[in-house]
Amino acid sequence: MNRNDHETLAETGPGTVMGALLRRYWTPAVLSTELEAGGAPVRVRLLGEDLVAIRNTEGKPGLFGERCAHRGASLYFGKNDNCKLRCLYHGWQYDLDGNCVEQPNEPPSSQFKDKVKQKAYPCIERNGVVWTYMGPREKQPLLPDLEYLTLPESHVHVAKRIQHCHFTQGLEGDIDSSHLGFLHGHAISLPDSPMPGTAARLGQGAPKFEVKLTPGGLVQATCRTVDDAQDYWRVGQWFFPGFTTIPPRGGDAPMHGHSWTPMEDGTSWVFTFSLHPNRPLLEEEHRRMSEATNFHAHLMPGSFEPRANKANGYAAEGFENEKQPWMRIKYFQDQDIGMTESMGPLYDRTQENLGNSDLVVTRMRRRLIEAARDFARGIEPPAQNPADYRLRPVSMLLPKDAMWFDAVTERMDARPETWRESV
């Protein structure tokens, strides 16, 4: 990657090429549980902007720029009442669309509230998450048909965390299948591993990679040899701009996916979505996800910071004294976080030495960079149709002579009736 490409990919704040592209998509903002009807505002940092979220007294969520349009006082201290947000400093009040509806410190003869607009972004709440769109209102797309947004709430478990690295560094771990046997080999072999049946298959160091571009992003497939007759295929997706799916483990287990959104260039919000397409999640499945022994991170109480973090070497409880640092990182998600954060908040991509195993990563980067530059030239962003997101991950055995994409196409179609147990 040359310097220009690196900077295009890396810079996501207001006024940047990539930042402008990212603002044209819906993104998770807060968990539903963070907002109380008529309750206190919650600070949110997204795409380099300081914001506050509320749930008004009617239960509707809203997202505002933190600085009051009057003289910049923080609306984090605002009063959430009467279905609006009132600045504590001079009492100016705003509705969820950012319209100024009261200027109580101005005499009637000098009222100009109709000329004042507080920064505010539209919100949609679905399955435990409040989503927001930060682009031009007249260009607002429909919410994408990601599978966890189309299912009953009982079928979905969602959590979020902070990750201290660029959003693509974490995202790339989801679509890089060659690291599984190396980074996760120890975790895969543990008795409580969520992937006990796939340990041998994932142990092959150099699998074959295939990529197919789609309107919504790309489909990535990894092939590992099983025997003379069969191959083991793990197929997942990356969707614009920062959504990933994780190929499932065997049986009737739930599937998982992530949403990656920059807080700023070197820090990300990560929402983890676990789901089952045709049944409610079991109590035991919710428990495992809450205890974060698989694809969810165990958080420090009262925060979204992972308990296993840079300060403690990403060590799991009870493993702090293992002789080798790598042996202290027990769980899947902690291992991924440790590696992507170890690169630093924003790794200089011009220093990389990429190989064939990085095929999926390079294709994803190229699509993001090209889309951002095309958008800067006036070309509309890709994946604005909700149907572009109607794909699910698959893991299955296929005959040696099978055409992999044809074989998985029906099962990838994200409808309850197409779901089959994975291998």
367-409: pLDDT as tens digits: 999 999 999 999 999 999 999 999 999 999 999 999 999 999 9
Architecture of domain 147-418: Alpha-Beta Complex (3.90)
How does DSSP classify residue 205? S
Q: Which pLDDT score, from 0 to 100, does residue 306 have?
A: 95
Place of tokens 């002579």: 401
Alpha-carbon distance 105 to 225, whole Å?
A: 73
352: tokens are 């990389």
The closest of 401, 417, 258 to 337, measured between CA atoms, is 258
Place of tokens 């009222």: 111
Phi-psi region of 15 (alpha: psi -120 to 50; beta: other; left: phi over 0): left
Q: Which pLDDT score, from 0 to 100, does residue 202 have?
A: 59
266: tokens are 């070197």
Place of tokens 């793990």: 234
Alpha-carbon distance 91 to 283, whole Å?
A: 46
Alpha-carbon distance 93 to 102, whole Å?
A: 5
The closest of 122, 71, 82, 81 to 98, measured between CA atoms, is 122
Task: For the chain, state the CA radius of gyration.
Answer: 23
Q: Which pLDDT score, from 0 to 100, does residue 192 have?
A: 52
Q: pLDDT (tens digit, 9 = 90+) per residue, 67-98?
A: 999 999 999 999 998 889 999 999 999 999 99
Contacts of 11 (CB under 8 A, 6+ apart): 17, 18, 19, 265
Fill in the amino acid letter for 60: K
CATH of 28-139, picked from 3.90.600.10, 3.40.50.1860, 2.40.110.10, 2.102.10.10, is 2.102.10.10
Alpha-carbon distance 328 to 238, whole Å?
A: 30
pTM of the model: 0.94
Q: Please give the helix or strand (H or E) that residue 172 lies within, else none.
A: helix 167-175
Please give the chain's pLDDT, 423 residues, in tens: 999 999 999 999 999 999 999 999 999 999 999 999 999 999 999 999 999 999 999 999 999 999 999 999 999 999 998 889 999 999 999 999 999 999 999 999 999 999 999 999 999 999 999 999 999 999 999 999 999 999 999 999 999 999 999 999 999 999 998 887 778 776 554 545 545 445 545 555 678 899 999 999 999 999 988 889 999 999 999 999 999 999 887 789 899 999 999 999 999 999 999 999 999 999 999 988 887 766 788 899 999 999 999 999 999 888 899 889 988 888 888 999 999 999 999 999 999 999 988 999 999 999 999 999 999 999 999 999 999 999 999 999 999 999 999 999 999 999 989 999 888
Q: In the chain, where does the domain assigned CATH 2.102.10.10 lie? A: 28-139
Alpha-carbon distance 28 to 148, whole Å?
A: 13
Strand segments, DSSP code E, in 276-418 are 394-399
Contacts of 41 (CB under 8 A, 6+ apart): 52, 53, 54, 75, 76, 77, 78, 80, 85
108: tokens are 């009637």
CB 194 within 8 A of CB 181: no
Q: Distance from first CA to last CA of the chain, Å, rounded?
A: 36
Query: What helix, strand, coil percent values describe the chain, rounded to 5?
Result: 30, 30, 40
Alpha-carbon distance 140 to 294, whole Å?
A: 35
Q: Which pLDDT score, from 0 to 100, does residue 295 have?
A: 79
Alpha-carbon distance 120 to 135, whole Å?
A: 11
Contacts of 404 (CB under 8 A, 6+ apart): 210, 221, 223, 233, 235, 398
Other residues' Cβ atoms within 10 Å of the Cβ of residue 326: 12
The closest of 222, 198, 181, 172 to 347, measured between CA atoms, is 172
Q: Which pLDDT score, from 0 to 100, does residue 164 have?
A: 98
Cα separations (Å) of 322 from 325, 329, 341? 7, 10, 21
The closest of 209, 177, 133, 172 to 366, measured between CA atoms, is 172
Q: In the chain, where does the domain assigned CATH 3.90.380 lie? A: 147-418
